[in-house]
Chain A
Amino acid sequence: NAGVTQTPKFQVLKTGQSMTLQCAQDMNHNSMYWYRQDPGMGLRLIYYSASEGTTDKGEVPNGYNVSRLNKREFSLRLESAAPSQTSVYFCASFMGLDQPQHFGDGTRLSIL
């Protein structure tokens, strides 16, 4: 099983450019999440989607938008990238109680 797949794995952008990070899961999970990881910090929640058709803000949503395209796919969009958004982005999916979240391998994003 592929689990949670993120694309791309690496990306370099210039300030002001836009970009969409893709995430897909094949585990039929209802909930999906986007996190960012900065040096010396744990993961912080950007947005999540508890179920298909719903999205909610997390701890650090500013500068981002999301789309839950269908049950499998949850994308994260940077409309106008800023250097402060340089980070590693992780997507995760979650079945529900008694199961942990499953993480993708991350997208390493640098904004110059």
Chain B
Amino acid sequence: GEDVEQSLFLSVREGDSSVINCTYTDSSSTYLYWYKQEPGAGLQLLTYIFSNMDMKQDQRLTVLLNKKDKHLSLRIADTQTGDSAIYFCVSDSWGKLQFGAGTQVVVTP
């Protein structure tokens, strides 16, 4: 079946940049999303990129997409303690979502 894989854990110092990587297998993906989940909360859409784009910047967030390698990354600049959460990489193929297992990001002072 189709798969989305991402690293499970990332530790970063406050003020540094965080980079979360993801690979996906579904070549028919139309959109790729990054969702954030804080403890005990629902999923918050952070940003997304259309499959024919290779980069999208939104304030502190930069998404890079290498469609040939099916590789997606999320860079968070100037990481803050409020960025501590689980981040899900999600591929969207015409409304059918495939979720990665999530990357837990821990921000240390």
Interface size class of A (residues with CB under 8 A): 20 to 34
Query: Which A residues are within 8 Å of any B CB, using their own CB?
Result: 31, 33, 40-45, 50, 90, 94, 96-97, 100-106
Q: List 11 A-B contacts (CB under 8 A).
A: A40-B101, A42-B4, A42-B98, A42-B101, A45-B97, A50-B95, A96-B95, A97-B30, A100-B45, A105-B42, A106-B42
Interface size class of B (residues with CB under 8 A): 20 to 34
Closest A residue to B41 by beta carbon equals A105
Task: Tell me if A100 and B43 are in contact (CB < 8 A).
Answer: no
A interface, by DSSP: helix, strand, loop or mixed?
loop
Closest B residue to A97 by beta carbon equals B30
Q: With contacts defined as CB atoms under 8 Å apart, how many contacts are there between chain A and chain B in the complex?
A: 46
Query: Which B residues are within 8 Å of any A CB, using their own CB?
Result: 4, 8, 30-31, 33, 35, 41-43, 45, 48, 88, 90, 92, 94-102
Contacts of A106 in B (CB 8 A): 41-42
CB distance from B74 to the nearest CB of A (A): 15
Contacts of B88 in A (CB 8 A): 42-43
CB distance from A18 to the nearest CB of B (A): 25
CB distance from A84 to the nearest CB of B (A): 19
Task: Tell me if A103 and B33 are in contact (CB < 8 A).
Answer: no
**Which of A43, A44, A50, A96 neighbours the largest number of chain B CB atoms within 10 Å of its CB?**
A43
Task: Tell me if A101 and B41 are in contact (CB < 8 A).
Answer: no
CB distance from B72 to the nearest CB of A (A): 14
